[in-house]
Each structure stands twice: as structure tokens, then as C-alpha cells.
């Protein structure tokens, strides 16, 4: 076991691999495309996971919350290998040596990423060991099978034989039997067996059946003690091999490449193409092999050979838990004292319960929604549910990128179609890792009479929009919702997102035109009056607004740009922001993870700051602000500042024009930019330092501050009603 560093980590150490020039010097920077000005997309994303892991190190964080962050980091790294390492390996296999904007070839990117990922995984293991010990002190024990009493072992064996063994299928392999097909992310046992003395041993693979009905962590007795399912299987192999002697048993786990996109433009049936692509992934090349350190070298080499993996690059040995993403199971245990207090979102003050959403939107003109501080269920889901039942509603149109069984969105769309309304849905079948679910949603909606389309050929439809057409007083009125997050009940509780409900007629017409383009399925160039859409307009508009800020910048009215996004990767956007910084425009960037730009470079980006917030909720909102010489502009929507979003996806940004809502967005950004606890500040070399408290300053958290602000809005809204009720009660008493 590696030694645990018990000192709380507050600084992410500089990583020289993040950039080419490790130390900036004052100079003119004539070439804004120079590789040394750009950080690695992949390495800055991995650096984000270091910041997530730092939340697990925080000893003021409840223990199950710390476990949650360990699980998130490991889940993120699994996805990173499936998507990014898989894609880079494809480039190497194709002989591509073209360097990225930061000067790295695909082969160099893999080497740098693998080195960084190994460090993160090792640090994650150390943090888990520490938290595991603290959980034991609280009565939540993760035990080894060998530590169980004879009675506990007998009970575990009986439970396994009854509830798990019937679905376990051992597969032997030898010269007469091919190596078995291993599914992506599968946890396996490699067992060496001998039938009788004198016979050659043979190998068998057992897939550990982890799933909703077969948890990884097996409860022992009635208490809060658990043992790993793979250990239960490994110590009861006689139930699978009654006539064999077990010589060894070791755990291993595999990850496959999921970058297996087919040619969409050549597909006659997109739905069939996606289903075929999902089948392809079952047999895609492997990109990572994880195994227990105790596995003999001969068996390690055998697995690497069969999986066509390089042991120097692709083999990861662990002295503890394989597949630590499964630790998320433990966060559901009934230990409220080991978790943060549950958050109860308020109902938006302009959407009182029991009142018509349509009436509320008409009264306000536009309503800003802040999730999860305000309820997604009581706003977006209620809006669509009401529309599905309202006889005055004639048509509903929606985009779906990701959704969940717990979301009423699909139910409402189906209800509306069955009641005779015109319902059209653009569903993105190629939403990474949600393809299978989206295929099921698509088939269900089609069977109910919903007009399902799959967007524009060659582009992912990533925008989040709803359109409701309602007949009112002999005319039709359009109501819209535009969001920064998916129509997904689960993520709406755990992601920080924004949304806009509006009946603005111009905005409604723009959204209607956008849906006409999506359902037509062609790359139609349309002129919109308010919204910005990608790939045709958005990037050029944002670049123009950055340049406009430079041209309007004066000592009296200094330029100011504030951008909140998940990622800043597009080289053109980075170059434009460098130009703004060189001109003296203040640029305040809130970038959750990937960021190619280096702030604080003398003579270039001294007026630029980059901050990253990692907290209880995943920061997911996108907000773009420009001072514009005093005529301030705010936009919100679905697009990150990545080349794929701006050039290869259908994205949507909508202006926020109502003064009250602009003030609310300003407060939202001010709150996040002034944060000092979950906020990290990027240094010129690409490393991050957690912002330190000033002398006498209390530890603060912007997300907690936004929870408090939401509650204050609720109290201000109910205060007049409470005063009226008191007056009525006083009058009745007199």
C-alpha cells in the first residue's frame, strides 16, 4: 500500500507537460498561433480531474461525498480512455503525425496523457484508502473475504449460490477454444485450473455480473459491512468447477475504444446505422487493461497478447480496487450524517404552484430559471406537461440530446401526440454513450405518433429547445424554453444550469425557423433576428463581439468580457481572446475543464483570468457577456467554446434582454467570480492554484451562496402574501 499523504492539498503542482514553454517572459507575441501559447486539450482536461480529486481530499467534506468524488474521477478517466485515447490511437494507426495546435503529435499526446493518468489513478487509490479507513471508524466497513467469520462466509456463499451463480458463465480457453469476447468496462476473473494431477492446467474467464440486480458491494449480515462480489466468486469457485483444483485466481478489467463512428452521410437509415455502431463497439480494439498486482507476469503477458495491447503503455496495475467508479453504489447508503444535507430546490417565484405556466410567462414576458437552485420539475417538466394536456395547444416541438427514465419529458410528448396534437422531436441518436437509450426513446415516440427526426446530416444536434404553439383569442402564440442543460431529471438535480422561458414573438419565430431547419434535415442557411446558431453564425458572431470589445475599449469605458463555459478549446477563439488581452480588455473566464488559453503572460494576457469551479454541483451553464461600450449583452445557451461545438454541431445561444434577468445573470457571474473555496485559478504555466482566503475572510462557496439567494427570492415573494393573510386574519378576529 502506498503511503498516504495526510496533509490537505490546496495547490495543484505545476505540470511541465501542460505547455511547451514552461516559463513566460515579456515579449510582443507577434504570432498568436505559436504552439507555446496553447495548452493541451487532453492534459487540461486531466488537470480538471485532479481538481475533482482534491474535493475527495477535503477533510471538511462528509465521507460519502468524498467517496462520490473518487468514483467520479474514475468514471471520468474510463470515458477519457474510451473517447480520447481511443481516438488518438486511431490516428496513430492511420499514420497521422500532424501536430495539434499545442505542437504535439498523436503519439506524443498519448504518452503525455498516459503518464498523467497513471499519477491521477495512483492518487485516487491513496485517497480511497484514507477515506476507507475513516468510513470504518463510522461503522461502514469494506472487508476482505478472508476477514469474514465462518458463519459470515457461509451466509455469503448461500446468497451467492441463490442470487448470482445462476447468471455466471465461465468460459475456458486453450488451443482448442478461442479467447472469449470481453465486453467494454467488464470486470473479470482469470482462473487457472487443473482437472487432475499430471494434466496440464487450463485457463478460464469469469465475467463478474455487476449490475442493477447484482451490486458490486455485497452486504454481510444486517449491518453496514460489505465485501466485493468478485471476492465472493473467487472464494467459491468449487460451485463452478466442482471437479477441478484452483491454482490461481486474479481480477482484471478491460476498456475498449468507443470512437467507432460510421459515415453518417453514407447511411440510408440513421437508426439502423447507430444500432450497427453499437454492435461495432462490442468488438472495438482495447485501449486499457487493469489488473491486480499479484497476477503472474506470464498471465499478464498472455492477456496483453490476446488483447493486442502494449504492456508499457496500456497495462495498469492496482494494489486496491479495480473499477473504482462502482464506489458510487456506496453513496446511496442510508448514512445521512456522512453526506451533505439534501438540497431542496425552490419553485421559481414567477411560477407559483397550481397556476398556469402560460399565464405566468405572458405576465413576465421572459423568466430565467436557475437549476438546481430552482426546481426543474416545477418549471420545465410542468410547462411541457401542461402543454400536453391543454386543448388550446396545437403543436409541440423539442430537441432531445440526453434524457432519463425519471424525466416526464418523453411521457408528456407521447401524451400530446396521442391526444391529437402535432408533436415533432429532433433526437440526437449519436449522443455519446446514450445512443442505445435514445434509440429506445425514438422508437417509443414514433409508435405513439410523434414525428421523430434525427437532425441535420453530418452535425450533432446539441441545442436544448422546446417550442409550444397555443391558440389564444383567435391567434397563435409561441412559447419557448431554451436551456444550457439536457432535458434530464437526474442531471437537473446535480448540474448547475440555466434556462429561459419566453413568449417573445421574435424569439418564438426564430426558434420555429430553427425547428423547420432541423426537421427538414438540410443545412439550410437561415436569417435569424435574435438567436445565434452554430455552425453557420455563432462562431463568427462571437469573434466579432470580441473584436468589437477591443474597438470600444477606452480608459473611460474599459472593455470587459465574461465567458462561462465548460471548455475553451477552439484555436480561433483563443487567438481572439489573446488579441483582446493584448489590447488591455479585461477578460474573465470561468472554464470548468479544458482550457487551451494561458492567462497572465506578460505583454499578452495579463488582463485575462481563468478560473475553474469544482463543487457540490457540476458546473454546466454557458453564459457569454460583453460590456459593449455600456450597452451590455448577455447570451445563454448550449454551446461550449470548442471547435466541435462551433463548427460541427447544431448549437443555440439566445440573448437575454429583460433588465431584471440581465441583473440576475450579472449576480450569478459576480457570485461565481468572487468565490474563494471551490474556485481554482490558472497560472501562466497551466497549473491551477486554489484561491486563498484573505485574512479574516470566512470560507465561502458560490453554489451555497446561490442556494441562499434562491431561498431569499422565495421569502421575498411569499412575504406580501403572508402579510395579506395576517391582515385578513386580524380583520376576521375583530
CATH number for the domain harbouring residue 439 = 3.30.870.10
Q: What is the CA radius of gyration of the chain?
A: 28
Q: Are residues 252 and 372 located together in one domain of the fold? A: no
Note whether residue 710 is domain-resident: no
The per-residue pLDDT for 362 is 96
Same domain, 303 and 378: no
Query: Total domain count for the chain?
Result: 4
313 in the same domain as 191: yes
10-residue mean pLDDT profile of the chain (734 residues): values are 34 42 60 95 97 95 97 96 93 92 96 96 96 95 95 96 95 84 94 85 94 92 94 97 93 88 51 59 84 90 94 91 96 93 94 91 97 96 97 97 85 96 90 74 91 86 96 94 94 96 97 92 77 95 98 96 98 98 97 97 96 95 98 97 95 97 97 85 94 68 92 83 55 57
Task: Give the distance from CA 245 to its chain's centroid.
Answer: 46
Q: What domain range includes position 48?
A: 16-135
From 96, 116, 135, give the residue that closes a domain: 135
Q: Facing residues of 203 across strands?
A: 173, 192
**Distance, C-alpha 158 to centroid of its chain:** 39
Residue 68 and residue 107 in one domain: yes
Q: Which of 315, 332, 349 is the last residue of a domain?
A: 332
What count of other Cβ atoms lies within 10 Å of the Cβ of residue 527? 8
**How many whole angstroms separate alpha carbon 162 and alpha carbon 168?**
12
pLDDT at 223: 87
Separation between Cα atoms, residue 343 and residue 710, nearest integer Å: 12
352, exposed or middle or buried, with CB in 10 Å at 0-12, 13-18, 19+? middle
462 an active-site residue?
yes
Kindly list the distances between the CA atom of residue 648 and the CA atoms of 13, 274, 430, 683, in Å, as whole numbers in the listed order: 35, 18, 13, 31
Tell me the residue ranges of DSSP E strands in 585-693: 586-591, 608-613, 618-619, 623-626, 633-637, 649-655, 679-682, 688-690
Per-residue exposure over 472-483, b if at least 16 CB sit within 10 Å of its own CB, e if not? eeeeebbbbbbb
pLDDT of residue 2: 35
Q: Please tell me the distance from the alpha carbon of residue 713 to that of residue 666, in angstroms, as a whole number.
A: 16
Same domain, 563 and 669: yes
Domain co-membership, 98 together with 219: no
541 is a domain residue: yes
Q: What is the C-alpha to C-alpha distance for residues 11 and 175, in angstroms, rounded to an integer?
A: 53
Domain of residue 47, CATH code: 1.20.58.310
The answer to whether residues 539 and 525 belong to one domain is no
In a domain, 723, yes or no: no
Distance CA 509, CA 503 (A): 10
> 125: Cβ–Cβ under 8 A, 6 or more apart, which residues?
2, 318, 319, 320, 321, 324
Give the max Cα distance, the chain: 103
Residue 4 forms part of a structural domain: no
One domain, residues 38 and 121: yes
Is the residue at 444 inside a domain? yes
Which pLDDT score, from 0 to 100, does residue 17 have? 46
CATH code of 158's domain: 3.30.1840.10
365 shares its domain with 477: yes
Please indicate, yes or no, if residue 3 is contained in any of the structural domains.
no
Q: Is residue 707 part of a domain?
A: no
Question: Do 74 and 184 belong to one domain?
Answer: no
State residue 439's pLDDT score: 82
* pTM check: above 0.85: yes
pLDDT of residue 293: 80
**90: exposed, middle or buried (C-beta count within 10 Å: 0-12, 13-18, 19+)?**
middle
Q: What is the DSSP letter of 691?
A: P
- The active-site residue, picked from 462, 481, 488, 677, is 462
Is 728 a member of any domain?
no
Q: Clarify whether residues 525 and 538 are in a common domain.
A: no
Same domain, residue pair 303 and 382: no
Amino acid at each position: 500500500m502506498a503511503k498516504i499523504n495526510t496533509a490537505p492539498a490546496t495547490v495543484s503542482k505545476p505540470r511541465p507537460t501542460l505547455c511547451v514553454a514552461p516559463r513566460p517572459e515579456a515579449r510582443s507575441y507577434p504570432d498568436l498561433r505559436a504552439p507555446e501559447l496553447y495548452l493541451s486539450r487532453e492534459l487540461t482536461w486531466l488537470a480538471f480531474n485532479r481538481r475533482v480529486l482534491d474535493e475527495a481530499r477535503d477533510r471538511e467534506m462528509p465521507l460519502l461525498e468524498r467517496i462520490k468524488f473518487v468514483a467520479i474521477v474514475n468514471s471520468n478517466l474510463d470515458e477519457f480512455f474510451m473517447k480520447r485515447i481511443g481516438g488518438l490511437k486511431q490516428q496513430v494507426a492511420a499514420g497521422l503525425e500532424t501536430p495539434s495546435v499545442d505542437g504535439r503529435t498523436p503519439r506524443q499526446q498519448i504518452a503525455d496523457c498516459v503518464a498523467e493518468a497513471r499519477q491521477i489513478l495512483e492518487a485516487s487509490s491513496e485517497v480511497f484508502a484514507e477515506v476507507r479507513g475513516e468510513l470504518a471508524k463510522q461503522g461502514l466497513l469494506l472487508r476482505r473475504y478472508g476477514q469474514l467469520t465462518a458463519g459470515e462466509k457461509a451466509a455469503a456463499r448461500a446468497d451467492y449460490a441463490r442470487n448470482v451463480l445462476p447468471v455466471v458463465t465461465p468460459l475456458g480457453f486453450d488451443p482448442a477454444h478461442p479467447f472469449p469476447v470481453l465486453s467494454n468496462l467488464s470486470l473479470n476473473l482469470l482462473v487457472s485450473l487443473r482437472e487432475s494431477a499430471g494434466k496440464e492446467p487450463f485457463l478460464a474467464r469469469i465475467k463478474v455480473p455487476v449490475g442493477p440486480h447484482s451490486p458490486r458491494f455485497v452486504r454481510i449480515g444486517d449491518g453496514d459491512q460489505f465485501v466485493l462480489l468478485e471476492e465472493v466468486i473467487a472464494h467459491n469457485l468449487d460451485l463452478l468447477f466442482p471437479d477441478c483444483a484452483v491454482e490461481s485466481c486474479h481480477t482484471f478489467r478491460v476498456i475498449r475504444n468507443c470512437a467507432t463512428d460510421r459515415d453518417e452521410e453514407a447511411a440510408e437509415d440513421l437508426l439502423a446505422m447507430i444500432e450497427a455502431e453499437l454492435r461495432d463497439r462490442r468488438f472495438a480494439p482495447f485501449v486499457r487493461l487493469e489488473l491486480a498486482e499479484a497476477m503472474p507476469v506470464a498471465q499478464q503477458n498472455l492477456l496483453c497478447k490476446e488483447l493486442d495491447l502494449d504492456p508499457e503503455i496500456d497495462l495498469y496495475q492496482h494494489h486496491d480496487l479495480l473499477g473504482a467508479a462502482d464506489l458510487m453504489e456506496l453513496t446511496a447508503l442510508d448514512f445521512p450524517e456522512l453526506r451533505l444535507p439534501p438540497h431542496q430546490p425552490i419553485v421559481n417565484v414567477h411560477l407559483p404552484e397550481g397556476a398556469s405556466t402560460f399565464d405566468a410567462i405572458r405576465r413576465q414576458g421572459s423568466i430565467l430559471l436557475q437549476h438546481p437552485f430552482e426546481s426543474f420539475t416545477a418549471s420545465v417538466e410542468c410547462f411541457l406537461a401542461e402543454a400536453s394536456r391543454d386543448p388550446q395547444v396545437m403543436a409541440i416541438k423539442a430537441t432531445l440530446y440526453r434524457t432519463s427514465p425519471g424525466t416526464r419529458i418523453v411521457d408528456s410528448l407521447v401524451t400530446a401526440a396521442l391526444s391529437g396534437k402535432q408533436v415533432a422531436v429532433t433526437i440526437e441518436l449519436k449522443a455519446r454513450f446514450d445512443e442505445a437509450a435514445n434509440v429506445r426513446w425514438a422508437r417509443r415516440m414514433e409508435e405513439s405518433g410523434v414525428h421523430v427526426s434525427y437532425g441535420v446530416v453530418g452535425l450533432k444536434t446539441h441545442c436544448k429547445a422546446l417550442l409550444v404553439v397555443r391558440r389564444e383569442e383567435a391567434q397563435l402564440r409561441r412559447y419557448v424554453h431554451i436551456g444550457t442543460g439536457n432535458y434530464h431529471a437526474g442531471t437537473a438535480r446535480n448540474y448547475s444550469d440555466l434556462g429561459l422561458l419566453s413568449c417573445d414573438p421574435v424569439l418564438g419565430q426564430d426558434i420555429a425557423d430553427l425547428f423547420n431547419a432541423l426537421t427538414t434535415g438540410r443545412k439550410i442557411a437561415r436569417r435569424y433576428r435574435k438567436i445565434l446558431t452554430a455552425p453557420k453564425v455563432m462562431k463568427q458572431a462571437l469573434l466579432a463581439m470580441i473584436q468589437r470589445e477591443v474597438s470600444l475599449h477606452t480608459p473611460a469605458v474599459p472593455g470587459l468580457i465574461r465567458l462561462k463555459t465548460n471548455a475553451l478549446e477552439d484555436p480561433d477563439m483563443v487567438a481572439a481572446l489573446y488579441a483582446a488581452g493584448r489590447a488591455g480588455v479585461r477578460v474573465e473566464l470561468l472554464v470548468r475543464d479544458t482550457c487551451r488559453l494561458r492567462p497572465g503572460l506578460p505583454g499578452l494576457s495579463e488582463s485575462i483570468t481563468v478560473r475553474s469551479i469544482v463543487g457540490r454541483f457540476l458546473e454546466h451553464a454557458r453564459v457569454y457577456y460583453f460590456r459593449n461600450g455600456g450597452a451590455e449583452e448577455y447570451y445563454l445557451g448550449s454551446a461550449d467554446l470548442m471547435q466541435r461545438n462551433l463548427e460541427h454541431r447544431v448549437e443555440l445561444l439566445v440573448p437575454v434582454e429583460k433588465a431584471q434577468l440581465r441583473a440576475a445573470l450579472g449576480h450569478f457571474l459576480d457570485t461565481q467570480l468572487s468565490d474563494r473555496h471551490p474556485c481554482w485559478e490558472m497560472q501562466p504555466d497551466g497549473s491551477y492554484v486554489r484561491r486563498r482566503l484573505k485574512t479574516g475572510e470566512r470560507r465561502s462557496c458560490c453554489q451555497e451562496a446561490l442556494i441562499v439567494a434562491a431561498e431569499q427570492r422565495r421569502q421575498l415573494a411569499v412575504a406580501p402574501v403572508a402579510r395579506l393573510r395576517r391582515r385578513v386574519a386580524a380583520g376576521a378576529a375583530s
